[in-house]
Structure 1
């Protein structure tokens, strides 16, 4: 199980202090970009002398993608710890990333069983570039786009629905106006739809256009409408980015912060806690194990986390910070704070910020995704962000 967890850490978590995990990340990105280069280079006549070498390189990368997919299925229970083994595998396989991972290598093998579809299957190679979206898990800047789209999905869907209705109605109208005059151009409603798409989206290919007076007047109206229609989703996304960065900037506006003092405990060779799960540790009331530092990694303790020799345990207190950039902060929520009333899994916080503990009315609550924050809660945060009006305390 230890080896299995280590495999999961390497393939799933990009940790700057874990050279094996970082090496895997860079190797994974290199293979995706190599596949993309091969797909582009093969379209040139000059690639023919190197075709056998290109095929060999593609085979190696596809085999690597296959092995990675198998390892991700094998370690799925660590990705979804709240689910059992079968449920975790199903959750990964049916997830967006799981489907992309599967499609990135499966079409390579399909021509063996379906030779007639070899050309169509090769088109799926472009799917491999979607695997680069995994870096969203490592960098907040890239993840902002996904967060904005998710938060504005209802408005975006509404605007897209309006655009589709306008495209459909204008295509039918233009077909009615131009079909008799240009039967070879506006052959059917789809021809009108092609014209409507290029006009409303302000592309204007020029391969199909109206020649009647009524058709041209209608085209002018649709062109003006198209400018406004395209601006709607653009404005929604722009507003989403502004709101996203405003929320991050106002992180401290309605909060009271205090430094927290922590005690660090070294787990030596003969320490009685070695190989003990966290749930069985003889911690006195009021003292909590907040964080475990293990070989440069920061481990958030769970009930089944096993203490190992060499671990550094951070217990209780205020404001601990070490040279690796680990900072623990205490945040008291006012009634107007953005987090009040939200579940922890719905919080809009940086991926470099983690809620370790919640203290409510003198009681210590272990945070989980369904815990709803209330006014007056004191939230213990692990963060690499700089938060103003705080003072670091040396242990």
Structure 2
């Protein structure tokens, strides 16, 4: 009986160790996690490998480059592609860390069929497929263009580059509507041009869909000139459609441009508001055992510079008054004016995972700055007093209070 318990304990320790090791790998392959040197090193290596691979993909298309550096370029391509394969395997192993609510198999399946998972797979798989299917070499080489899409991963390093993503997400309905209008005009202009030009150019405008290429190049203001009207009525119609195309192309361009202006104005107004008004907001969710639960706002005894501006109750937003009673589950939004004479402080919230260096460490043994203090630990939704003997565990949320010392006399 004792031996069985010992085996179970050993298996549990092995499982915890393997989970912690997997969490460390996940932190390493995740873009932007730079809490340890190896994570920063992996990010740098990933970017270098991607840029070298893309350089080789373009360089091999030049005959003089292939003649002089062909072997070197092919070796670099092979090494960097192998790195992509290893990176994909590591992401498969740590898929459960990316989707913690899924099962082990469910997380792997979700990653494999996600957009990033497909890009990661196509970045290396077509390189090795010609070994097994030599006849499809040309087709497989075409799929290597997916490596370029890995450049979007660099987007995670720069917040400024996320602006375009946010704009496309915000304006997707307007953009889809404009594209739909362009498609309708394209079909209509193709049908009109067929009716006018079919008798004069039966080999060019054979049917209603023959003018799709012409209508697309005309409406999108490209105008290749390989297909064009020869009749007087067709030329007049072509001029009208060309003018119409200028306006149609300007619609999505204007939507995106307006989105950029709105986004930057929004960011600027947020920055100006926080700098000029010095107002800070905080959200607090009440539980049944909180002291404020069941009390009126007027009876809370809030400081004069602090006020409750809104209460989120289930799906209803309440503008509070003094006689409003707070209920369990209410999400309270409070605002406070920043005191200018007080030394600036910074509050950080750190979520501890299995691979974090603080996991399994007592608070007294954590090496943090003398100007930083742990004032709360949340575990399973409960706030805990951060005593020195309290051991930090995976899943905990640690809140730190830090001072920005600008003029410190030693």
Query: What's the TM-score, normalizing by structure 2?
Result: 0.64
Residue in 1 that maps onto 2:22: 4
1:37-56 equivalence runs, <5 A: 37-49=55-67, 50-56=69-75
Give the match's secondary structure for 2:38: helix
Going from structure 1 to structure 2, the CA distance change for 1:120 and 1:38 (only over 3 Å counts) comes to: same
Residue in 2 that maps onto 1:315: 374
Q: Residue 209 of structure 1: which of 196, 218, 228 is its match? A: 228
Residue in 2 that maps onto 1:155: 174
**Does the alignment pair 1:257 with 2:257?**
no
Residues 204 and 210, structure 2, Cα contact 8 Å, conserved in 1: yes
Pairwise CA distance, 1:52: 3.4
Residue in 2 that maps onto 1:36: 54
Give the match's secondary structure for 2:211: helix
Q: Residue 14 of structure 1: which of 29, 32, 45 is its match? A: 32
Does 134-143 or 30-39 show the bigger shift?
30-39
Taking the aligned partners of 2:49 and 2:279, their CA distance within structure 1 comes to: 45
Does 122-131 or 182-191 show the bigger shift?
182-191
Pairwise CA distance, 1:60: 1.3
Taking the aligned partners of 1:27 and 1:200, their CA distance within structure 2 comes to: 45
Going from structure 1 to structure 2, the CA distance change for 1:168 and 1:365 (only over 3 Å counts) comes to: farther
Q: Residue 351 of structure 2: which of 292, 300, 304 is its match? A: 300
Taking the aligned partners of 2:225 and 2:213, their CA distance within structure 1 comes to: 11
Going from structure 1 to structure 2, the CA distance change for 1:238 and 1:210 (only over 3 Å counts) comes to: same
Pairwise CA distance, 1:132: 0.9
Give the match's secondary structure for 1:68: helix
Going from structure 1 to structure 2, the CA distance change for 1:303 and 1:47 (only over 3 Å counts) comes to: closer
Q: Residue 141 of structure 1: which of 160, 168, 179 is its match? A: 160
Unpaired stretches in structure 1, ≥5 consecutive residues = 261-290, 318-355, 358-362, 367-379, 384-390
**Does the alignment pair 1:61 with 2:80?**
yes
Asked which structure has the greater CA Rg, the reply is 2
Give the match's secondary structure for 2:279: strand
Q: Residue 80 of structure 1: which of 71, 90, 99 is its match? A: 99
Taking the aligned partners of 2:201 and 2:86, their CA distance within structure 1 comes to: 56
Deviations 1:261-307 (A, max 9, x none): xxxxxxxxxxxxxxxxxxxxxxxxxxxxxx999xxxx8324799834
Deviations 1:288-330 (A, max 9, x none): xxx999xxxx83247998342435484349xxxxxxxxxxxxx
Pairwise CA distance, 1:80: 2.1
Residue in 1 that maps onto 2:261: 242
| Aligned residues between the structures | 298
Unpaired stretches in structure 2, ≥5 consecutive residues = 1-18, 283-345, 385-397
Going from structure 1 to structure 2, the CA distance change for 1:314 and 1:83 (only over 3 Å counts) comes to: farther
Residues 292 and 299, structure 1, Cα contact 8 Å, conserved in 2: no
Pairwise CA distance, 1:30: 2.1
Give the match's secondary structure for 1:315: strand
Deviations 1:204-231 (A, max 9, x none): 1112111111111111111111111111
Taking the aligned partners of 1:169 and 1:259, their CA distance within structure 2 comes to: 54
Residue in 2 that maps onto 1:164: 183
**Does the alignment pair 1:26 with 2:26?**
no
Residues 119 and 149, structure 2, Cα contact 8 Å, conserved in 1: yes
